[in-house]
Chain A
Amino acid sequence: MTKIVICGVGGQGIILASDILSLAAMEAGYDVKKSEVHGMAQRGGSVISNCIFGKKVYSPLIGFGEGDILLAFEKLEALRGLPYLKKDGTMIVNDYEWPPLTVASGDVVYPENTIETLKDKVKKLVSVDGVKIAMDLGNIRTTNVVLLGVLARFLPFKRESWLSVIERRVPGKTLEINKTAFLSGFPSEV
């Protein structure tokens, strides 16, 4: 069984990313469960989505210390999500800072050297500048799919099945750029 935690800020496209991930797992013949929270949490608050696949999946929820991979869309949220990762788990972090309102108003400070802190704690850390890659492609909104591409490197699904799920799930006019975004995270030489 593989347990993946995706965390970030409401509005970063986490739900779409975990949708694509789950469907790719289903395509590959696994049992899959996914869990996320709607409502209050989607208004710019911290968001967490869980995806679990394997021969037979019971809990749709991943507890502390259980995640095999944690994909964080934002650095502060990476720190917040850390307890969900297994001691020897892999973390993929988007090297991006989105200060919460409490920081923007100057009440508290955004932690410094997040990547270094994470490096010290996590067995394997992959840091990606997903926002820059997406901006270079011409659409910041594809950051989620760039990061999904990086995640794909660590998962046993074929590139074609990922792409076919993206074709089904992503609306027509942004399809091409999303495919390019995915492949920039998951280039064929990896």
Chain B
Amino acid sequence: MREFISGNEAVARGAYEAGCRVACAYPGTPSSEILENIAKYKDKIYCEWSTNEKVAMEVTSGAVFAGARSLVAMKHVGLNVAADPLFSMAYIGATGGFVIVSADDPGMHSSQNEQDNRNYARAAKIAMLEPSDSEEARLLTKLGFDISEQFDTPVLLRLTTRISHSYGIVNTEKREEHPPKTYNKDIKKRLILPAHARVRHIFVEERLEKLREYSNGFFLNKIEWGDKDVGIITSGISYQYVKEVFPEASVLKLSLTWPLPDKLIREFANNVKEVIVVEENDPFLESEIRAMGIKVVGKEKVPLTGELDPYILKRAFGFSEEIHSTRSIPSRPPVLCAGCSHRGVFYCISKLKLTATGDIGCYTLGALPPLNALDTCVCMGASIGNSFGLELALGDEIRDRLVAVIGDSTFFHSGITGLIDIVYNRGTSTVIILDNFTTAMTGHQEHPGTGKTLMGEGTRKIALEDIARACGVENVYVVDPYNLKETEEVIKREVKRREPSVIIARRPCALRVKPEPPLRVIPEKCTGCKLCLRLGCPAISMKDDKAVIDKYLCNGCGMCKQVCLKDAIVNE
């Protein structure tokens, strides 16, 4: 059947068709929709939101031990979290087909860095596949399971934002069934003590050579002969830009990009006058091809940072046309939604002039003006350790005006260990957990605190306050962030306390509940003081020196009403 689907949906489809039985992930843009789509096949594939990427990798690894075809998906930085089991699994191999999906984010549309995870395939010495559109995403996911079983290796399926979130036409096929084989205890393979691992390492190196031979003959590593003056070597989304910008050129399109097909690359290079390598971010192909002694043009022309597109590629090679220019115009950064429960906490932090270490989620937006409430954002869970480190370095200078701010899902992901560290090592930090009952930023996924699984089953709700207490924190308080007075008082009190405390600011994400009726400004009462604008609510703006509330955007949270000193904001 012909369907118009995204790259992420195509990966889900490919996994289904390949007879995948277990799939795990922690949501992260641009990878989140892979598991959301796999959940459509939940009668055939067990799927879960795992607490974090490392756990996701370990659960799928267990299923792979038993011979079940399994898939784990994450965004590029998620693979850092899961890197430990990844490198072990590279030695252990795959009894059942094991596909590891990494969705990289060139251009950093929704990420803190632009790391190129092709480097992981090389470092871990496993096979890597790179699709260039939705149809290939489906096909290569399927082939990934076959390659994995044939060579006893995990396979890294490397996507980028433009593969994950672009749509194209695919031809779907029927599902094949691959029932798990019988489980056999095999400690030489799966219990990698040094003595066993030394033997496995030799296997890994031999496997890489066999894979290289396979890569040389792989039907989707293919040469499209054209004009032989220039030959372009490329992979993934860059292939599409190359076809558009250099329609006449000869192209070597690589789909199995680790290990690289050395013979095929030499054959191609020997038949063209000049070799150009077009790839986003790191010179991954380029440095490998150069190391083979082949002269290429690469990153001296093609940008190293940011995403590519046809225009950028044209400009890199000096043949772009004149374009419309625009003068500098006001930027429109993303904002916390009207009625977002995080706003109350950030308003208080900002008012109390606290130093706040931040974390990853919608709430990172609290760093933007006018709230300016966060000082740092490093990686998932870092807020808690970062805050403790500041306290250690600066002591009393900062202790009384320091908080860590972390979301509920992020806290489950990797905040708990940081909290235990503070209690264990006698810290006094204050941790605010923004509990909005969802993983909002990535599209509102369930997590261990929501009482529901990815497959839609009810489950035990894990309470944040129970965890905090179990970690040894004695001062645990729950506040309603819509109540600014209460929130401010509790934060003020707890930052001063010379013991660790946890404040849970609890309110569902504004996008998940029915809005209250909008509020209204009485123009006669409004003095135009702009105090309400400090909330940074997108529904409030100034018109003719008076505040106005957009009734279509306002969600009736009532925070602005509490901020206004002139009682100018009222319920309709």
By a beta-carbon cutoff of 8 Å, the part of chain A in contact with chain B is 9-10, 22-23, 26, 31-46, 57-66, 76-77, 79-80, 82-83, 85, 87, 99-111, 121-122, 140
B29 CB contacts on chain A under 8 angstroms: 38-40
How far is B526's CA from A175's CA once the two chains are assembled, in angstroms? Answer: 41
In the complex, given contacts A22-B4, A106-B542, what are 17 additional A-B residue pairs having Cβ atoms less than 8 angstroms apart? A32-B168, A33-B166, A34-B4, A34-B167, A35-B165, A39-B29, A44-B334, A44-B335, A44-B337, A60-B167, A60-B240, A65-B311, A76-B330, A80-B329, A102-B330, A103-B541, A109-B330
Smallest Cβ-Cβ distance to B542: which chain A residue: A106
Q: A37-B165, A60-B168, A104-B533 are in contact. Are A42 and B334 (CB under 8 A)?
A: yes
Which of B330, B334, B541 lies in contact with A43, CB distance below 8 A? Answer: B334
A31 CB contacts on chain B under 8 angstroms: 169
Question: Are B165 and A36 in contact, with the CB atoms below 8 A?
Answer: yes
How far is B168's CA from A59's CA once the two chains are assembled, in angstroms? Answer: 10
Which of B109, B239, B311 lies in contact with A37, CB distance below 8 A? Answer: B109
How far is B325's CA from A83's CA once the two chains are assembled, in angstroms? Answer: 6
A-B contact pairs, 30 of them (CB 8 A): A26-B4, A31-B169, A32-B167, A35-B162, A36-B165, A37-B109, A38-B29, A39-B441, A40-B29, A40-B365, A46-B331, A57-B168, A60-B162, A61-B162, A61-B310, A63-B312, A64-B320, A65-B320, A66-B310, A76-B330, A80-B326, A83-B323, A83-B324, A101-B536, A104-B541, A105-B533, A106-B542, A108-B330, A110-B330, A111-B329
By a beta-carbon cutoff of 8 Å, the part of chain B in contact with chain A is 2, 4, 29-30, 32-33, 109-110, 133, 161-162, 165-169, 237, 239-241, 243-244, 307, 309-314, 320-326, 329-337, 362, 365, 369-370, 441-443, 530, 533, 536, 538, 540-542, 552
Count of A-B residue pairs with CB < 8 Å: 176
How far is B135's CA from A31's CA once the two chains are assembled, in angstroms? Answer: 12
**Cβ distance B364 to chain A, nearest Cβ, rounded Å:** 8
A9 CB contacts on chain B under 8 angstroms: 332
B109 CB contacts on chain A under 8 angstroms: 37, 39-41
Smallest Cβ-Cβ distance to B368: which chain A residue: A101
- Which of A59, A76, A105, A108 counts the most B-chain CB atoms under 10 A from its CB? A59
How far is B522's CA from A134's CA once the two chains are assembled, in angstroms? Answer: 27
Which of B168, B334, B552 lies in contact with A45, CB distance below 8 A? Answer: B334
How far is B333's CA from A58's CA once the two chains are assembled, in angstroms? Answer: 30
How far is B165's CA from A110's CA once the two chains are assembled, in angstroms? Answer: 31
**Cβ distance B548 to chain A, nearest Cβ, rounded Å:** 9
A26 CB contacts on chain B under 8 angstroms: 2, 4, 169
Smallest Cβ-Cβ distance to B307: which chain A residue: A61
**Cβ distance A128 to chain B, nearest Cβ, rounded Å:** 19
How far is B338's CA from A104's CA once the two chains are assembled, in angstroms? Answer: 14
Smallest Cβ-Cβ distance to B8: which chain A residue: A38
Question: Are A63 and B309 in contact, with the CB atoms below 8 A?
Answer: yes
A85 CB contacts on chain B under 8 angstroms: 324
Question: Are A61 and B309 in contact, with the CB atoms below 8 A?
Answer: yes
Question: Are A106 and B4 in contact, with the CB atoms below 8 A?
Answer: no
How far is B542's CA from A99's CA once the two chains are assembled, in angstroms? Answer: 10
Which of A33, A65, A102 lies in contact with B321, CB distance below 8 A? Answer: A65
A46 CB contacts on chain B under 8 angstroms: 331-332
Smallest Cβ-Cβ distance to A8: which chain B residue: B332
Which of B241, B324, B332 lies in contact with A59, CB distance below 8 A? Answer: B241
**Cβ distance A165 to chain B, nearest Cβ, rounded Å:** 11
**Cβ distance A124 to chain B, nearest Cβ, rounded Å:** 13
**Cβ distance B544 to chain A, nearest Cβ, rounded Å:** 12
Smallest Cβ-Cβ distance to A103: which chain B residue: B330
How far is B241's CA from A62's CA once the two chains are assembled, in angstroms? Answer: 10
Smallest Cβ-Cβ distance to B4: which chain A residue: A26
How far is B333's CA from A41's CA once the two chains are assembled, in angstroms? Answer: 8
How far is B313's CA from A102's CA once the two chains are assembled, in angstroms? Answer: 33
Question: Are B133 and A60 in contact, with the CB atoms below 8 A?
Answer: yes
Which of B324, B334, B538 lies in contact with A65, CB distance below 8 A? Answer: B324
B329 CB contacts on chain A under 8 angstroms: 76, 79-80, 111
**Cβ distance A8 to chain B, nearest Cβ, rounded Å:** 10
How far is B330's CA from A77's CA once the two chains are assembled, in angstroms? Answer: 10
A44 CB contacts on chain B under 8 angstroms: 332, 334-335, 337, 538
How far is B29's CA from A102's CA once the two chains are assembled, in angstroms? Answer: 26
**Cβ distance A33 to chain B, nearest Cβ, rounded Å:** 5
B538 CB contacts on chain A under 8 angstroms: 44, 101, 104
Smallest Cβ-Cβ distance to B364: which chain A residue: A40
Which of A23, A33, A104, A122 lies in contact with B542, CB distance below 8 A? Answer: A104
**Cβ distance B541 to chain A, nearest Cβ, rounded Å:** 4
**Cβ distance A112 to chain B, nearest Cβ, rounded Å:** 12
B325 CB contacts on chain A under 8 angstroms: 83
Question: Are A79 and B326 in contact, with the CB atoms below 8 A?
Answer: yes
Which of A22, A42, A100 lies in contact with B330, CB distance below 8 A? Answer: A100
Question: Are A43 and B335 in contact, with the CB atoms below 8 A?
Answer: yes
**Cβ distance B243 to chain A, nearest Cβ, rounded Å:** 4
How far is B37's CA from A45's CA once the two chains are assembled, in angstroms? Answer: 26
**Cβ distance B35 to chain A, nearest Cβ, rounded Å:** 14
A33 CB contacts on chain B under 8 angstroms: 133, 166-168
A122 CB contacts on chain B under 8 angstroms: 324
A77 CB contacts on chain B under 8 angstroms: 332
Question: Are B240 and A59 in contact, with the CB atoms below 8 A?
Answer: yes
Q: A58-B244, A105-B369 are in contact. Are A64 and B311 (CB under 8 A)?
A: yes
B332 CB contacts on chain A under 8 angstroms: 9, 44-46, 76-77, 80, 100-102
Which of A32, A65, A110 lies in contact with B323, CB distance below 8 A? Answer: A65
Question: Are B362 and A59 in contact, with the CB atoms below 8 A?
Answer: no
8 nearest CB pairs, A to B: A63-B311, A39-B110, A39-B29, A45-B334, A104-B541, A60-B166, A43-B334, A65-B323
How far is B29's CA from A106's CA once the two chains are assembled, in angstroms? Answer: 32
How far is B243's CA from A57's CA once the two chains are assembled, in angstroms? Answer: 10
Question: Are B321 and A10 in contact, with the CB atoms below 8 A?
Answer: no
How far is B443's CA from A41's CA once the two chains are assembled, in angstroms? Answer: 12
Which of A35, A39, A82 lies in contact with B167, CB distance below 8 A? Answer: A35
Question: Are B324 and A121 in contact, with the CB atoms below 8 A?
Answer: yes
**Cβ distance B322 to chain A, nearest Cβ, rounded Å:** 7
- Which of B241, B332, B443 counts the most A-chain CB atoms under 10 A from its CB? B332
Question: Are B167 and A64 in contact, with the CB atoms below 8 A?
Answer: no
